[in-house]
Structure 1
Amino acid sequence: MKKDQLLTRRRALLAGAVAVGAAGTAGVVALRTGGTPEAPSAPAAGAPARHLPEKPSAYRLQPLTGYGPPRAAPRRPPVRHEPLLRISGRGRTMVLTFDDGPDPRYTPGILDTLREYDVRAMFFVCGEMASYNKDLLARMADEGHVVGNHTWSHPLLTKLRRGQIRSEMERTSDVIEDAYGERPQWFRAPYGAWNRAAFQLGAELGMEPLAWTVDTLDWTTPGTGTIVDRVESGAAPGVVVLSHDAGGDRSQSVRALRRYLPQLLDSGYHITVPRRQYT
Structure 2
Amino acid sequence: MQKDHLFTRRRILLTGAAALGAAGAAGVVVEGGGTQSPTPAPVPGPQARQVLGPSAFRLRPLTGYGPPRPVPGRPEVRHEPILRLSGRGRHMVLTFDDGPHPDYTPHILDTLARYDVRAMFFVCGEMAVDNKGLLARMADEGHVVGNHTWTHPLLTTLDRGEIRSEMERTSDVIEDAYGERPQWFRAPYGAWNRAAFQLGADMGMEPMAWTVDSLDWTAPGTDTVVDRVESGAAPGVVVLSHDAGGDRSQSVRAIRRYLPHLIGSGYHFTVPRRRLG
Identity %: 84
Matched, 1:121 2:116: no
Please give the alpha-carbon distance, in whole angstroms, between the structure 1 residues aligned to 2:132 and 2:73. Answer: 28
CA contact (8 A) 2:96 2:122 kept: yes
Question: Structure 1 length as normaliser, TM-score?
Answer: 0.73
User: Once superposed, what is the RMSD of the aligned Cα atoms?
Assistant: 1.2
CA contact (8 A) 1:120 1:271 kept: yes
Query: What residue is the counterpart of 2:162 in the other structure?
Result: 164
Distance apart, 1:258 and its partner CA: 0.1
Query: What residue is the counterpart of 1:132 in the other structure?
Result: 130
Q: 2:239 aligns with which of 231, 241, 251?
A: 241
Please give the alpha-carbon distance, in whole angstroms, between the structure 2 residues aligned to 1:278 and 1:156. Answer: 31
* Pair 168,245 (structure 1): closer, same or farther in 2 beyond 3 Å: same
Where do 5+ consecutive residues of structure 1 fail to align? 1-72
Distance apart, 1:227 and its partner CA: 0.3
Deviations 1:117-161 (A, max 9, x none): 000000000001000000000000000000000000000000000
CA contact (8 A) 1:106 1:250 kept: yes
Q: Secondary structure at the match of 1:172?
A: helix
* Pair 171,144 (structure 1): closer, same or farther in 2 beyond 3 Å: same
Distance apart, 1:233 and its partner CA: 0.5
Q: 1:219 aligns with which of 217, 220, 229?
A: 217
Please give the alpha-carbon distance, in whole angstroms, between the structure 2 residues aligned to 1:277 and 1:180. Answer: 15
CA contact (8 A) 2:183 2:275 kept: no
CA contact (8 A) 1:127 1:172 kept: yes
Please give the alpha-carbon distance, in whole angstroms, between the structure 2 residues aligned to 1:275 and 1:184. Answer: 12
1:229 maps to a residue whose letter is D
Aligned residues: 207
Distance apart, 1:215 and its partner CA: 0.1
Distance apart, 1:75 and its partner CA: 2.4
1:230 maps to a residue whose letter is R
Higher RCO (C-alpha 8 Å, min separation 6): 2
Q: Secondary structure at the match of 2:241?
A: strand
CA contact (8 A) 1:77 1:278 kept: no
Please give the alpha-carbon distance, in whole angstroms, between the structure 2 residues aligned to 1:117 and 1:89. Answer: 22
Q: Secondary structure at the match of 1:86?
A: coil
Larger radius of gyration: 1
Distance apart, 1:87 and its partner CA: 0.4
Please give the alpha-carbon distance, in whole angstroms, between the structure 1 residues aligned to 2:75 and 2:276. Answer: 6
> Which runs of 4 or more aligned residues in structure 1 lie more than 3 Å from their structure 2 counterparts after TM superposition?
276-279
CA contact (8 A) 2:229 2:258 kept: yes
Deviations 1:36-74 (A, max 9, x none): xxxxxxxxxxxxxxxxxxxxxxxxxxxxxxxxxxxxx94
Query: What residue is the counterpart of 1:32 in the other structure?
Result: none
Query: What residue is the counterpart of 2:197 in the other structure?
Result: 199
CA contact (8 A) 1:76 1:278 kept: no
Q: 2:152 aligns with which of 151, 154, 161?
A: 154
2:230 maps to a residue whose letter is E
1:186 maps to a residue whose letter is W
Distance apart, 1:90 and its partner CA: 1.6
Query: What residue is the counterpart of 1:105 in the other structure?
Result: 103
Matched, 1:260 2:263: no
Query: What residue is the counterpart of 1:95 in the other structure?
Result: 93
1:138 maps to a residue whose letter is A
Please give the alpha-carbon distance, in whole angstroms, between the structure 1 residues aligned to 2:268 and 2:237. Answer: 11
Please give the alpha-carbon distance, in whole angstroms, between the structure 2 residues aligned to 1:114 and 1:176. Answer: 21
CA contact (8 A) 2:73 2:275 kept: no
Q: Secondary structure at the match of 1:168?
A: helix
* Pair 276,178 (structure 1): closer, same or farther in 2 beyond 3 Å: closer
Query: What residue is the counterpart of 1:56 in the other structure?
Result: none
**Equivalent residue runs for 1:49-60 within 5 Å:** none
Question: Structure 2 length as normaliser, TM-score?
Answer: 0.73
Deviations 1:164-195 (A, max 9, x none): 00000000000000000000000000000000
